[in-house]
Amino acid sequence: GQQVMQIPQYQHVQEGEDFTTYCNSSTTLSNIQWYKQRPGGHPVFLIQLVKSGEVKKQKRLTFQFGEAKKNSSLHITATQTTDVGTYFCAGKNSGYSTLTFGKGTMLLVSP
Amino acid sequence: GAVVSQHPSWVICKSGTSVKIECRSLDFQATTMFWYRQFPKQSLMLMATSNEGSKATYEQGVEKDKFLINHASLTLSTLTVTSAHPEDSSFYICSARDRGTGFAGELFFGEGSRLTVL
């Protein structure tokens, strides 16, 4: 079955530092989605990437989809305390109806 | 945005009893809903895919007789934890996809239900 690996598992940064989480799939994906889960909350959709090499930005967040559509990254510039939470990638293989979630990267930002 | 309501948000029960958790899509129809289990500081573990009007599809290792899923309408799926035991204590989350977006649409998550079995 498809597997989605996500690293790092955990990262602690000082406010203002940058942060990146990486996602790798064992198979080629038809699309990849990113979600954020605040402590005590539920996952919330951030974005979906579909095209090979696609780059999308949401304010300080930059999302990339690899050329081979097997990896993706989320980069946060100048982190803020409001960025605290766990970021999950979720990939979909064209042969499946379900998304496979990575294990998530827990981000802690110290003021 | 679309809203998925999950109820109850938390429940405490005695060992051996059954607990039902409801997942409702409030402003869209969902032919497919998903049930997850999440342990503290860990990822979402997909338990089963709930299909409206048909049997749920369970992931490997998930006991279908233990976790009963019913998806009787396009806006409601229920998960019943039967004969609950302390090891079933966990955070259960559902998600749903708007039927109009097909398989590629984003997932909308419920608020989750924290189950504690004494």
pLDDT tens by residue, B21-37: 999 999 999 888 999 99
The candidate with the shortest Cα–Cα distance to B106, out of A23, A73, A35, A52, is: A35
Tell me which H or E stretch contains B39.
none
pLDDT tens by residue, A11-27: 999 999 999 999 999 89
Q: Is the pLDDT of residue A96 over 70?
A: no
Other beta carbons less than 10 A from residue B102's beta carbon: 10
CB contact under 8 A, B106 and A41: no
Q: How far apart are CA A68 and CA A18, in angstroms?
A: 25
CB contact under 8 A, B107 and A103: no
**Residue among B41, B110, B112 whose CB faces A106 most closely:** B41
The answer to whether residue B107 neighbours chain A at the CB level (below 8 Å) is yes
CB contact under 8 A, B104 and A104: no
A44: chain B residues, CB-CB within 8 Å: 109
| Chain centroid offset of residue B107 CA | 13
Tell me which H or E stretch contains A41.
none
- Indicate the pLDDT class of residue B99, thresholds 50, 70 and 90: confident
Q: What pLDDT shows up at residue B104?
A: 64
Q: How far apart are CA B32 and CA B95, in angstroms?
A: 9
B3: chain A residues, CB-CB within 8 Å: none
Q: Is the pLDDT of residue B103 over 70?
A: no
A102: chain B residues, CB-CB within 8 Å: 43
Other beta carbons less than 10 A from residue A56's beta carbon: 16
Mean pLDDT within B5-32:
94
CB contact under 8 A, B43 and A50: no
Mean pLDDT within B106-113:
92
Q: If DSSP codes are grouped into helix, strand and coil, which group holds residue B101? A: helix
- Indicate the pLDDT class of residue B102, thresholds 50, 70 and 90: low
Tell me the C-alpha to C-alpha distance, in Å, between residue B9 and each of A49, A100, B20, B40, B94.
Answer: 32, 25, 11, 16, 12
CB contact under 8 A, A88 and B44: yes
- Indicate the pLDDT class of residue B6, thresholds 50, 70 and 90: very high
